[in-house]
Amino acid sequence: MGELLAVAAGLCFSLNSILTQRGMRQATASAGVMVNLLVNNLVFGLFLVVTSNTGGLLTLSREGLLLAASGGVVANVLGRTLNYLAVARIGSARAIMLSLTQTLFALVFGVLLLGEVLNITSLVGLVLVVFGVYWLSGEKARQKGEKARQKGEMAAAIEEPNTVFQRPSSVGMLLAVTSGLAYGGADLLRKLSLTESPSAVLTSAVGGLGALAVQSLVFTLQKGWRELVGMDREAFLNLALAGVTSGVAIIALNTALGFAPVVIVNALYNTRVWFAMAIGPVLLGGEERVTGTLVWSTLFILAGALIVIFG
């Protein structure tokens, strides 16, 4: 049961990233996060009613409430905003792949904050993750070199249609890796909150409410409500559907942790990058490309993440 839920969470999160990329063709990352969180909380509320967990809030300790809310803010406001900014620059597949660095950061947090021991196996995994990020950073240079060999320097200089693949990637990569840092910190908070909460759905709901409160304040300061009111219908629909998929994914992931070991859940959840590479080109057309560099970088980072998880 836990294994199936972890894979389902990976599928839903990949769909969230792809649908968000479609929606942000005509919307900002901040608006995308706002719509996602509004829909997330509707999903969480529905699940609370269906599972009869509405009274669980009264039994949640102060520590559990704080941990769940903090995890929601770090993951769903900070991490998601950074991730959406990355998606707008480098596409969903690359953003998801680089966010796998959260495993690396979770390891670092464990060593620094929980006193966990860094063994040689985990160190090998860490090196593979770093190498995968480095390999992806040279994607554009390798592609330009290939163009030059096939068509000559003049042909290589001809501009192609403006897709996320063609835009400057260094900032996008940095944003994606930083989102991995935020997600890694949120993993730690979420893990601690589940020891205080009677329900994974309740933890998701508290985290969602905390994130919505903070994002609403930020959105108000940015004067973003005007953009939301005047948003293109297609963009809003894509972002709303993205909110449904991420809401289901968060509940599935938190529930999976109650049925299967954390290492197994995290490993299966990482299948989201393969779902993104398989589904992205279909739903995004030429806006998303799967290159050899992307595949190899993913293999390095995924292998490193799995070594860290099982090490």
* Structure confidence at residue 113 (pLDDT): 80
Give the model's pLDDT for residue 241: 97
Q: Tell me the per-residue pLDDT of 208-243, one tens digit each, with 9 for 90 and over.
A: 999 999 999 999 998 889 999 999 999 999 999 999
Q: In terms of pTM, does the model score above 0.85?
A: no
Q: What is the mean pLDDT of the chain?
A: 83
Q: Is the dihedral of CA 277, 5, 250, 241 positive or negative?
A: positive
Q: State the Cα–Cα distance between residues 31 and 29, nearest whole angstrom.
A: 5
Q: What is the DSSP string of 209-262?
A: HHHHHHHHHHHHHTT-HHHHHT--HHHHHHHHHHHHHHHHHHHHHHHHTTTS-H
Tell me the C-alpha distance between 102 and 87, whole Å: 16
Question: pLDDT for 263-287, tens place per residue?
Answer: 678 778 888 888 998 899 888 887 7
Is the distance from CB of 91 to CB of 117 less than 8 angstroms?
no
| 2-23 helix and 29-50 helix, angle to the nearest 10 degrees | 150
Local confidence band at 146 (pLDDT 50, 70, 90 cut-offs)? low
CA–CA separation, 106 and 101 (whole Å): 9
Q: Which of 308, 291, 299 is nearest to 138 (CA)?
A: 291
For residue 119, give the DSSP letter. -
Distance CA 195, CA 41 (A): 22
Q: How many Å is the maximal CA-CA distance in the chain?
A: 69
Per-residue pLDDT reduced to its tens digit, 92-127: 888 988 888 887 887 788 788 877 777 888 888 888
Identity of residue 267: A
Percent of the chain whose pLDDT exceeds 70: 86
To which residue do tokens 């930020």 refer?
Answer: 218
**263 membership: H or E segment, kind and range:** helix 262-269
Residues 262-291 as b or e (16 or more Cβ within 10 Å = b): eebbbbbbbbbbbbbbebbbeebeebbbbb
Evaluate if residue 162 carries a pLDDT over 50.
Answer: no
Integer angstrom CA distances of residue 208 from 52, 60, 239, 273, 311: 18, 15, 16, 24, 32
The CA distance from 78 to 28, in Å, is 15
Q: What is the C-alpha to C-alpha distance for residues 264 and 26, in angstroms, rounded to an integer?
A: 38
